[in-house]
Protein backbone atom coordinates (compact mmCIF):
# COMPACT_ATOMS: atom_id res chain seq x y z
CA UNK A 1 0.00 0.00 0.00
CA UNK A 2 2.84 2.37 0.82
CA UNK A 3 4.44 1.58 -2.53
CA UNK A 4 1.24 2.54 -4.32
CA UNK A 5 1.01 5.77 -2.32
CA UNK A 6 4.59 6.67 -3.15
CA UNK A 7 3.98 5.89 -6.84
CA UNK A 8 0.84 8.01 -7.08
CA UNK A 9 2.49 10.83 -5.15
CA UNK A 10 5.25 10.93 -7.77
CA UNK A 11 2.77 11.41 -10.60
CA UNK A 12 2.20 15.08 -11.34
CA UNK A 13 -0.85 16.77 -12.84
CA UNK A 14 1.25 17.54 -15.94
CA UNK A 15 2.12 13.87 -16.46
CA UNK A 16 -1.54 12.88 -16.14
CA UNK A 17 -2.41 15.57 -18.68
CA UNK A 18 0.17 14.20 -21.12
CA UNK A 19 -1.26 10.70 -20.74
CA UNK A 20 -4.77 12.01 -21.45
CA UNK A 21 -3.49 13.93 -24.48
CA UNK A 22 -1.70 10.82 -25.75
CA UNK A 23 -4.89 8.78 -25.44
CA UNK A 24 -6.76 11.45 -27.40
CA UNK A 25 -4.08 11.29 -30.12
CA UNK A 26 -4.46 7.52 -30.40
CA UNK A 27 -8.26 7.60 -30.46
CA UNK A 28 -8.19 10.45 -33.00
CA UNK A 29 -5.81 8.54 -35.26
CA UNK A 30 -8.01 5.45 -35.05
CA UNK A 31 -11.04 7.51 -36.07
CA UNK A 32 -9.15 8.85 -39.10
CA UNK A 33 -9.33 5.35 -40.59
CA UNK A 34 -12.88 5.93 -41.83
CA UNK A 35 -14.37 8.98 -43.60
CA UNK A 36 -17.48 8.95 -41.42
CA UNK A 37 -15.43 9.49 -38.25
CA UNK A 38 -12.36 11.26 -39.67
CA UNK A 39 -13.54 14.80 -38.93
CA UNK A 40 -14.35 13.99 -35.31
CA UNK A 41 -11.05 12.16 -34.96
CA UNK A 42 -9.14 15.17 -36.25
CA UNK A 43 -10.98 17.44 -33.83
CA UNK A 44 -10.33 15.07 -30.93
CA UNK A 45 -6.58 14.91 -31.67
CA UNK A 46 -6.42 18.69 -32.04
CA UNK A 47 -8.15 19.09 -28.68
CA UNK A 48 -5.58 16.73 -27.15
CA UNK A 49 -2.75 18.86 -28.48
CA UNK A 50 -4.36 22.06 -27.21
CA UNK A 51 -4.93 20.44 -23.83
CA UNK A 52 -1.24 19.45 -23.62
CA UNK A 53 -0.07 22.95 -24.59
CA UNK A 54 -2.24 24.68 -21.96
CA UNK A 55 -1.19 22.19 -19.29
CA UNK A 56 2.49 22.72 -20.12
CA UNK A 57 2.17 26.49 -19.80
CA UNK A 58 0.29 26.24 -16.50
CA UNK A 59 1.96 23.31 -14.73
CA UNK A 60 5.46 22.90 -16.15
CA UNK A 61 8.28 23.62 -13.71
CA UNK A 62 12.04 23.68 -14.21
CA UNK A 63 14.14 23.88 -11.07
CA UNK A 64 10.94 24.85 -9.26
CA UNK A 65 10.38 27.86 -11.54
CA UNK A 66 7.34 28.24 -13.83
CA UNK A 67 7.64 28.97 -17.54
CA UNK A 68 8.73 32.53 -18.26
CA UNK A 69 7.75 34.92 -21.09
CA UNK A 70 4.20 33.60 -21.14
CA UNK A 71 2.86 36.74 -22.95
CA UNK A 72 5.34 36.13 -25.78
CA UNK A 73 4.38 32.45 -25.94
CA UNK A 74 0.67 33.25 -26.06
CA UNK A 75 1.28 35.91 -28.70
CA UNK A 76 3.19 33.43 -30.86
CA UNK A 77 0.41 30.85 -30.46
CA UNK A 78 -2.23 33.43 -31.40
CA UNK A 79 -0.31 34.61 -34.47
CA UNK A 80 0.40 31.06 -35.64
CA UNK A 81 -3.20 30.00 -35.07
CA UNK A 82 -4.55 32.97 -37.03
CA UNK A 83 -2.18 32.41 -39.96
CA UNK A 84 -2.85 28.67 -40.05
CA UNK A 85 -6.61 29.17 -39.83
CA UNK A 86 -6.67 31.72 -42.66
CA UNK A 87 -4.46 29.63 -44.95
CA UNK A 88 -6.43 26.44 -44.34
CA UNK A 89 -9.79 28.16 -44.90
CA UNK A 90 -8.74 29.81 -48.17
CA UNK A 91 -6.74 26.99 -49.75
CA UNK A 92 -8.29 25.40 -52.83
CA UNK A 93 -8.67 21.65 -53.05
CA UNK A 94 -6.16 21.61 -55.91
CA UNK A 95 -3.58 23.25 -53.63
CA UNK A 96 -4.13 20.85 -50.72
CA UNK A 97 -0.94 18.87 -51.46
CA UNK A 98 1.09 22.11 -51.31
CA UNK A 99 -0.55 22.97 -47.99
CA UNK A 100 0.31 19.54 -46.57
CA UNK A 101 3.94 19.97 -47.68
CA UNK A 102 4.14 23.47 -46.22
CA UNK A 103 2.67 22.57 -42.83
CA UNK A 104 4.81 19.43 -42.66
CA UNK A 105 7.89 21.49 -43.43
CA UNK A 106 7.07 23.89 -40.62
CA UNK A 107 6.98 20.95 -38.19
CA UNK A 108 10.42 19.85 -39.35
CA UNK A 109 11.77 23.40 -39.05
CA UNK A 110 10.44 23.65 -35.48
CA UNK A 111 12.21 20.41 -34.52
CA UNK A 112 15.47 21.60 -36.10
CA UNK A 113 15.29 24.98 -34.30
CA UNK A 114 14.69 23.22 -30.97
CA UNK A 115 17.84 21.17 -31.51
CA UNK A 116 19.97 24.19 -32.43
CA UNK A 117 18.74 26.09 -29.38
CA UNK A 118 19.18 23.24 -26.92
CA UNK A 119 22.58 21.90 -28.01
CA UNK A 120 24.68 24.65 -26.34
CA UNK A 121 22.73 24.09 -23.11
CA UNK A 122 23.36 20.38 -22.59
CA UNK A 123 24.03 19.91 -18.88
CA UNK A 124 27.80 20.11 -18.05
CA UNK A 125 27.14 17.61 -15.24
CA UNK A 126 25.74 15.14 -17.79
CA UNK A 127 28.78 15.66 -20.04
CA UNK A 128 31.13 15.21 -17.09
CA UNK A 129 29.37 11.99 -16.18
CA UNK A 130 29.00 10.31 -19.58
CA UNK A 131 30.69 12.60 -22.11
CA UNK A 132 28.98 13.73 -25.31
CA UNK A 133 27.88 10.15 -25.98
CA UNK A 134 24.60 10.42 -24.09
CA UNK A 135 20.92 10.16 -24.96
CA UNK A 136 20.26 13.90 -24.76
CA UNK A 137 22.94 14.79 -27.31
CA UNK A 138 21.80 11.95 -29.61
CA UNK A 139 18.18 13.17 -29.48
CA UNK A 140 19.31 16.72 -30.30
CA UNK A 141 21.48 15.66 -33.25
CA UNK A 142 18.86 13.33 -34.72
CA UNK A 143 16.18 15.99 -34.29
CA UNK A 144 18.41 18.48 -36.09
CA UNK A 145 19.24 16.13 -38.96
CA UNK A 146 15.78 14.68 -39.56
CA UNK A 147 13.91 17.94 -38.93
CA UNK A 148 16.14 19.92 -41.31
CA UNK A 149 15.84 17.33 -44.09
CA UNK A 150 12.07 17.30 -43.61
CA UNK A 151 11.88 21.11 -43.77
CA UNK A 152 14.16 21.55 -46.79
CA UNK A 153 12.62 18.61 -48.64
CA UNK A 154 9.06 19.75 -47.93
CA UNK A 155 9.78 23.23 -49.27
CA UNK A 156 11.17 21.77 -52.50
CA UNK A 157 8.14 19.46 -52.71
CA UNK A 158 5.91 22.51 -52.26
CA UNK A 159 7.62 24.27 -55.15
CA UNK A 160 7.48 21.22 -57.42
CA UNK A 161 3.79 20.67 -56.68
CA UNK A 162 3.10 24.34 -57.33
CA UNK A 163 4.92 24.15 -60.64
CA UNK A 164 7.71 26.69 -60.11
CA UNK A 165 10.49 24.18 -59.37
CA UNK A 166 11.41 21.61 -62.01
CA UNK A 167 13.15 18.26 -61.79
CA UNK A 168 16.93 17.90 -61.52
CA UNK A 169 17.97 14.46 -62.71
CA UNK A 170 21.66 13.58 -62.77
CA UNK A 171 22.91 10.00 -63.05
CA UNK A 172 25.38 10.49 -60.21
CA UNK A 173 22.74 11.93 -57.86
CA UNK A 174 22.31 8.63 -56.05
CA UNK A 175 25.98 8.52 -55.10
CA UNK A 176 26.08 12.22 -54.22
CA UNK A 177 23.15 11.81 -51.84
CA UNK A 178 24.63 8.69 -50.27
CA UNK A 179 27.92 10.55 -49.76
CA UNK A 180 26.18 13.52 -48.11
CA UNK A 181 24.17 11.18 -45.89
CA UNK A 182 27.39 9.41 -44.86
CA UNK A 183 28.98 12.79 -44.01
CA UNK A 184 25.99 13.71 -41.82
CA UNK A 185 26.10 10.41 -39.96
CA UNK A 186 29.87 10.81 -39.59
CA UNK A 187 29.36 14.26 -38.07
CA UNK A 188 26.98 12.83 -35.49
CA UNK A 189 29.55 10.20 -34.54
CA UNK A 190 32.33 12.82 -34.47
CA UNK A 191 30.38 15.19 -32.19
CA UNK A 192 29.36 12.43 -29.79
CA UNK A 193 32.93 11.17 -29.42
CA UNK A 194 34.54 14.54 -28.64
CA UNK A 195 36.11 15.11 -25.24
CA UNK A 196 34.87 18.57 -24.27
CA UNK A 197 33.88 20.35 -21.08
CA UNK A 198 30.76 21.95 -22.55
CA UNK A 199 28.65 21.26 -25.64
CA UNK A 200 28.85 24.96 -26.59
CA UNK A 201 32.43 24.31 -27.75
CA UNK A 202 31.01 22.30 -30.66
CA UNK A 203 28.20 24.71 -31.59
CA UNK A 204 29.86 25.78 -34.89
CA UNK A 205 29.70 22.13 -36.01
CA UNK A 206 25.96 22.16 -35.37
CA UNK A 207 25.48 25.02 -37.83
CA UNK A 208 27.67 23.27 -40.42
CA UNK A 209 25.61 20.12 -39.94
CA UNK A 210 22.43 22.14 -40.40
CA UNK A 211 23.72 23.59 -43.69
CA UNK A 212 24.72 20.17 -45.03
CA UNK A 213 21.34 18.73 -44.01
CA UNK A 214 19.61 21.52 -45.96
CA UNK A 215 21.63 20.58 -49.05
CA UNK A 216 20.70 16.92 -48.61
CA UNK A 217 17.01 17.78 -48.14
CA UNK A 218 17.04 19.78 -51.38
CA UNK A 219 18.95 17.19 -53.43
CA UNK A 220 16.86 14.41 -51.92
CA UNK A 221 13.64 15.77 -53.46
CA UNK A 222 14.87 17.57 -56.60
CA UNK A 223 15.11 14.45 -58.84
CA UNK A 224 11.62 13.28 -57.95
CA UNK A 225 8.77 13.88 -60.33
CA UNK A 226 5.85 12.26 -62.00
CA UNK A 227 3.49 10.07 -60.06
CA UNK A 228 6.10 9.48 -57.36
CA UNK A 229 5.57 12.71 -55.44
CA UNK A 230 2.82 11.42 -53.09
CA UNK A 231 5.20 8.77 -51.77
CA UNK A 232 7.85 11.38 -51.00
CA UNK A 233 5.33 13.60 -49.21
CA UNK A 234 4.39 10.60 -47.06
CA UNK A 235 8.05 9.91 -46.27
CA UNK A 236 8.74 13.55 -45.37
CA UNK A 237 5.71 13.47 -43.09
CA UNK A 238 7.17 10.48 -41.25
CA UNK A 239 10.48 12.36 -40.92
CA UNK A 240 8.72 15.24 -39.19
CA UNK A 241 7.06 12.83 -36.78
CA UNK A 242 10.38 11.23 -35.86
CA UNK A 243 11.97 14.67 -35.39
CA UNK A 244 9.12 15.67 -33.06
CA UNK A 245 9.59 12.43 -31.10
CA UNK A 246 13.24 13.41 -30.55
CA UNK A 247 11.95 16.60 -28.94
CA UNK A 248 9.72 14.47 -26.71
CA UNK A 249 12.76 12.51 -25.54
CA UNK A 250 14.70 15.72 -25.00
CA UNK A 251 12.06 17.38 -22.82
CA UNK A 252 10.68 14.19 -21.26
CA UNK A 253 7.33 15.23 -22.74
CA UNK A 254 5.09 12.20 -23.14
CA UNK A 255 2.51 13.99 -25.31
CA UNK A 256 5.16 15.25 -27.72
CA UNK A 257 6.75 11.81 -27.78
CA UNK A 258 3.49 9.99 -28.44
CA UNK A 259 2.42 12.43 -31.14
CA UNK A 260 5.77 12.16 -32.87
CA UNK A 261 5.80 8.37 -32.71
CA UNK A 262 2.26 8.17 -34.11
CA UNK A 263 3.03 10.52 -37.00
CA UNK A 264 6.38 8.88 -37.69
CA UNK A 265 5.09 5.31 -37.61
CA UNK A 266 1.92 6.08 -39.57
CA UNK A 267 3.91 7.97 -42.22
CA UNK A 268 6.44 5.14 -42.47
CA UNK A 269 3.75 2.48 -42.82
CA UNK A 270 1.99 4.56 -45.48
CA UNK A 271 5.26 5.07 -47.34
CA UNK A 272 6.02 1.35 -47.34
CA UNK A 273 2.50 0.52 -48.53
CA UNK A 274 2.68 3.09 -51.32
CA UNK A 275 6.11 1.87 -52.41
CA UNK A 276 4.68 -1.63 -52.57
CA UNK A 277 1.66 -0.37 -54.51
CA UNK A 278 3.97 1.33 -57.02
CA UNK A 279 6.57 -1.45 -57.19
CA UNK A 280 9.28 0.95 -56.00
CA UNK A 281 12.23 0.61 -53.63
CA UNK A 282 12.20 2.36 -50.25
CA UNK A 283 15.99 2.65 -50.43
CA UNK A 284 15.70 4.66 -53.62
CA UNK A 285 13.25 6.98 -51.88
CA UNK A 286 15.73 7.63 -49.08
CA UNK A 287 18.69 8.38 -51.37
CA UNK A 288 16.57 10.52 -53.65
CA UNK A 289 16.54 8.64 -56.95
CA UNK A 290 12.88 7.76 -56.75
CA UNK A 291 11.07 8.19 -60.04
CA UNK A 292 12.35 7.84 -63.52
CA UNK A 293 13.22 10.33 -66.15
CA UNK A 294 13.31 10.47 -69.89
CA UNK A 295 10.76 9.78 -72.58
CA UNK A 296 9.06 6.56 -73.53
CA UNK A 297 10.54 4.69 -76.50
CA UNK A 298 7.14 3.51 -77.64
CA UNK A 299 5.54 5.72 -80.28
CA UNK A 300 1.78 6.06 -79.99
CA UNK A 301 0.01 4.51 -82.92
CA UNK A 302 -3.54 4.77 -84.18
CA UNK A 303 -5.80 7.76 -84.15
CA UNK A 304 -7.77 9.71 -81.58
CA UNK A 305 -11.51 9.05 -81.70
CA UNK A 306 -14.03 11.44 -80.12
CA UNK A 307 -17.51 10.87 -78.74
CA UNK A 308 -20.41 13.30 -78.55
CA UNK A 309 -22.19 14.19 -75.32
CA UNK A 310 -25.41 12.54 -76.46
CA UNK A 311 -23.67 9.31 -77.45
CA UNK A 312 -21.78 9.28 -74.12
CA UNK A 313 -25.03 9.79 -72.21
CA UNK A 314 -26.71 6.91 -74.06
CA UNK A 315 -23.73 4.60 -73.56
CA UNK A 316 -23.63 5.31 -69.83
CA UNK A 317 -27.39 5.19 -69.26
CA UNK A 318 -27.82 1.78 -70.88
CA UNK A 319 -24.84 0.15 -69.21
CA UNK A 320 -25.02 -2.30 -66.35
CA UNK A 321 -21.69 -1.46 -64.77
CA UNK A 322 -19.74 1.82 -64.91
CA UNK A 323 -16.39 2.60 -63.29
CA UNK A 324 -15.17 6.19 -62.84
CA UNK A 325 -11.43 6.87 -62.53
CA UNK A 326 -10.90 10.29 -60.88
CA UNK A 327 -7.61 12.18 -61.18
CA UNK A 328 -5.96 15.52 -60.59
CA UNK A 329 -7.96 17.10 -63.43
CA UNK A 330 -11.16 16.45 -61.49
CA UNK A 331 -9.69 18.35 -58.54
CA UNK A 332 -8.51 21.22 -60.76
CA UNK A 333 -12.00 21.63 -62.22
CA UNK A 334 -13.64 21.31 -58.77
CA UNK A 335 -16.08 18.93 -60.45
CA UNK A 336 -16.44 16.30 -57.72
CA UNK A 337 -19.98 17.38 -56.78
CA UNK A 338 -21.26 17.20 -60.37
CA UNK A 339 -19.49 13.87 -60.79
CA UNK A 340 -21.40 12.54 -57.79
CA UNK A 341 -24.62 13.91 -59.27
CA UNK A 342 -23.88 11.93 -62.44
CA UNK A 343 -23.28 8.68 -60.56
CA UNK A 344 -26.54 9.14 -58.62
CA UNK A 345 -28.48 9.67 -61.86
CA UNK A 346 -26.98 6.54 -63.35
CA UNK A 347 -27.78 4.50 -60.24
CA UNK A 348 -31.39 5.69 -60.47
CA UNK A 349 -31.41 4.12 -63.94
CA UNK A 350 -30.18 0.81 -62.50
CA UNK A 351 -26.52 1.26 -63.36
CA UNK A 352 -23.93 0.03 -60.85
CA UNK A 353 -21.33 2.80 -60.41
CA UNK A 354 -17.97 2.46 -58.66
CA UNK A 355 -14.91 4.71 -58.36
CA UNK A 356 -11.48 3.22 -59.05
CA UNK A 357 -8.97 4.83 -56.68
CA UNK A 358 -5.26 4.60 -57.43
CA UNK A 359 -2.93 5.00 -54.40
CA UNK A 360 -1.08 7.94 -55.98
CA UNK A 361 -3.87 9.58 -58.00
CA UNK A 362 -3.59 13.33 -57.49
CA UNK A 363 -0.67 14.95 -55.72
CA UNK A 364 -0.73 13.49 -52.21
CA UNK A 365 -1.69 10.22 -50.49
CA UNK A 366 -5.47 9.86 -50.37
CA UNK A 367 -6.07 12.95 -52.51
CA UNK A 368 -9.00 11.40 -54.41
CA UNK A 369 -10.52 9.97 -51.24
CA UNK A 370 -10.54 13.43 -49.67
CA UNK A 371 -11.91 15.01 -52.85
CA UNK A 372 -14.80 12.57 -53.21
CA UNK A 373 -15.56 12.55 -49.47
CA UNK A 374 -16.05 16.31 -49.76
CA UNK A 375 -18.79 15.57 -52.32
CA UNK A 376 -20.39 12.98 -49.97
CA UNK A 377 -19.65 10.04 -52.25
CA UNK A 378 -20.33 6.91 -50.16
CA UNK A 379 -17.12 5.29 -48.98
CA UNK A 380 -18.36 1.90 -50.20
CA UNK A 381 -18.21 3.16 -53.80
CA UNK A 382 -14.47 3.86 -53.57
CA UNK A 383 -12.55 0.75 -54.63
CA UNK A 384 -8.76 0.48 -54.59
CA UNK A 385 -7.12 -0.23 -57.94
CA UNK A 386 -5.85 -3.72 -57.09
CA UNK A 387 -9.36 -4.72 -56.00
CA UNK A 388 -11.20 -3.34 -59.00
CA UNK A 389 -8.78 -4.40 -61.74
CA UNK A 390 -10.02 -8.02 -61.89
CA UNK A 391 -13.56 -6.73 -62.45
CA UNK A 392 -12.74 -4.32 -65.28
CA UNK A 393 -13.19 -6.87 -68.12
CA UNK A 394 -16.84 -7.08 -66.99
CA UNK A 395 -17.22 -3.29 -66.89
CA UNK A 396 -19.35 -1.83 -69.68
CA UNK A 397 -17.91 1.71 -69.53
CA UNK A 398 -14.88 3.09 -67.76
CA UNK A 399 -14.81 6.88 -67.48
CA UNK A 400 -11.44 8.57 -66.92
CA UNK A 401 -11.83 12.10 -65.52
CA UNK A 402 -8.57 14.02 -65.34
CA UNK A 403 -6.40 10.98 -64.62
CA UNK A 404 -3.40 10.24 -66.81
CA UNK A 405 -0.34 8.38 -65.53
CA UNK A 406 -2.35 6.01 -63.32
CA UNK A 407 -4.12 4.51 -66.38
CA UNK A 408 -1.18 4.63 -68.81
CA UNK A 409 -0.39 1.18 -70.28
CA UNK A 410 3.25 2.27 -70.69
CA UNK A 411 3.69 1.25 -67.04
CA UNK A 412 3.25 -2.34 -68.19
CA UNK A 413 4.45 -2.26 -71.81
CA UNK A 414 7.49 0.06 -71.98
CA UNK A 415 10.60 -0.73 -69.89
CA UNK A 416 12.08 2.66 -70.88
CA UNK A 417 9.14 4.60 -69.45
CA UNK A 418 9.62 6.63 -66.23
CA UNK A 419 6.53 4.93 -64.78
CA UNK A 420 7.42 1.38 -65.85
CA UNK A 421 6.67 -1.10 -63.10
CA UNK A 422 4.10 1.12 -61.40
CA UNK A 423 0.84 -0.80 -60.88
CA UNK A 424 -1.95 0.99 -62.73
CA UNK A 425 -5.70 0.88 -63.10
CA UNK A 426 -6.01 -1.44 -66.10
CA UNK A 427 -8.44 0.80 -67.92
CA UNK A 428 -7.86 -0.84 -71.30
CA UNK A 429 -9.49 -4.04 -70.02
CA UNK A 430 -12.92 -2.37 -69.90
CA UNK A 431 -15.34 -2.90 -72.80
CA UNK A 432 -15.65 0.83 -73.53
CA UNK A 433 -13.50 3.75 -72.37
CA UNK A 434 -14.44 7.42 -72.21
CA UNK A 435 -11.65 9.87 -71.39
CA UNK A 436 -12.54 13.41 -70.32
CA UNK A 437 -9.72 15.89 -70.92
CA UNK A 438 -9.20 19.52 -71.84
CA UNK A 439 -6.85 18.50 -74.63
CA UNK A 440 -4.07 16.11 -75.49
CA UNK A 441 -1.68 17.42 -72.82
CA UNK A 442 0.60 14.95 -71.09
CA UNK A 443 0.32 13.97 -67.43
CA UNK A 444 2.54 14.80 -64.49
CA UNK A 445 5.16 12.30 -65.69
CA UNK A 446 5.26 14.19 -69.02
CA UNK A 447 4.84 11.13 -71.22
CA UNK A 448 2.32 10.16 -73.87
CA UNK A 449 -0.65 8.10 -72.69
CA UNK A 450 -1.11 5.12 -74.99
CA UNK A 451 -4.62 4.55 -73.63
CA UNK A 452 -5.89 7.52 -75.64
CA UNK A 453 -5.05 5.69 -78.88
CA UNK A 454 -6.73 2.43 -77.88
CA UNK A 455 -9.48 1.22 -80.26
CA UNK A 456 -11.98 1.12 -77.35
CA UNK A 457 -11.23 4.68 -76.21
CA UNK A 458 -13.34 7.71 -77.06
CA UNK A 459 -12.25 11.21 -76.06
CA UNK A 460 -14.69 13.75 -74.63
CA UNK A 461 -12.83 17.04 -74.72
CA UNK A 462 -13.60 20.06 -72.55
CA UNK A 463 -13.38 21.36 -69.00
CA UNK A 464 -14.35 18.54 -66.63
CA UNK A 465 -16.89 20.61 -64.72
CA UNK A 466 -18.67 21.95 -67.80
CA UNK A 467 -18.51 18.61 -69.61
CA UNK A 468 -19.92 16.71 -66.63
CA UNK A 469 -22.71 19.25 -66.22
CA UNK A 470 -23.66 18.90 -69.88
CA UNK A 471 -23.46 15.12 -69.56
CA UNK A 472 -25.76 15.23 -66.53
CA UNK A 473 -28.27 17.28 -68.53
CA UNK A 474 -28.11 14.77 -71.40
CA UNK A 475 -28.66 11.83 -69.06
CA UNK A 476 -31.64 13.60 -67.48
CA UNK A 477 -33.20 14.15 -70.88
CA UNK A 478 -33.14 10.45 -71.84
Pairing of strands 65-66, 61-62: antiparallel
Concerning whether 405 is annotated as a catalytic residue, the answer is yes
Candidate list 167, 195, 386, 405, residue with the active-site label? 405
Q: What are phi and psi of 321, to 5 degrees?
A: -140, 125
Q: Determine whether 72 is exposed, middle or buried from the number of CB atoms within 10 Å of its CB (0-12, 13-18, 19+).
A: exposed
CA-nearest of 407, 430, 395 to 322 is 395
What is the separation of C-alpha 227 from the centre of its chain, rounded to a whole number of angstroms?
13
Q: Determine whether 24 is exposed, middle or buried from the number of CB atoms within 10 Å of its CB (0-12, 13-18, 19+).
A: buried
What is the separation of C-alpha 124 from the centre of its chain, rounded to a whole number of angstroms?
40
Residue numbers annotated as active site? 405
Amino acid sequence: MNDISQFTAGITILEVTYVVASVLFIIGLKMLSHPLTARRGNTLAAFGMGFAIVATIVFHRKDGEPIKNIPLILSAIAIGTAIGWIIARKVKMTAMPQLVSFFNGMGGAAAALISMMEFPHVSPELIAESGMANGEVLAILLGLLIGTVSWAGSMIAYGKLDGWIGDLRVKAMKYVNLAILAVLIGMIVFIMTRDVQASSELTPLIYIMFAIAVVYGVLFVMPIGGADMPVVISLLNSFTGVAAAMGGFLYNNQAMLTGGILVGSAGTILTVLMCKAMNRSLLNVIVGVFGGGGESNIVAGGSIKEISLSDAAVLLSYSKKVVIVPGYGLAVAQAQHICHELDKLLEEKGVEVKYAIHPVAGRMPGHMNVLLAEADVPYEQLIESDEINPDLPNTDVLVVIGANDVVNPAAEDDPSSPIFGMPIIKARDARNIIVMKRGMGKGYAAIENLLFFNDKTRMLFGDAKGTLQNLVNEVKSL
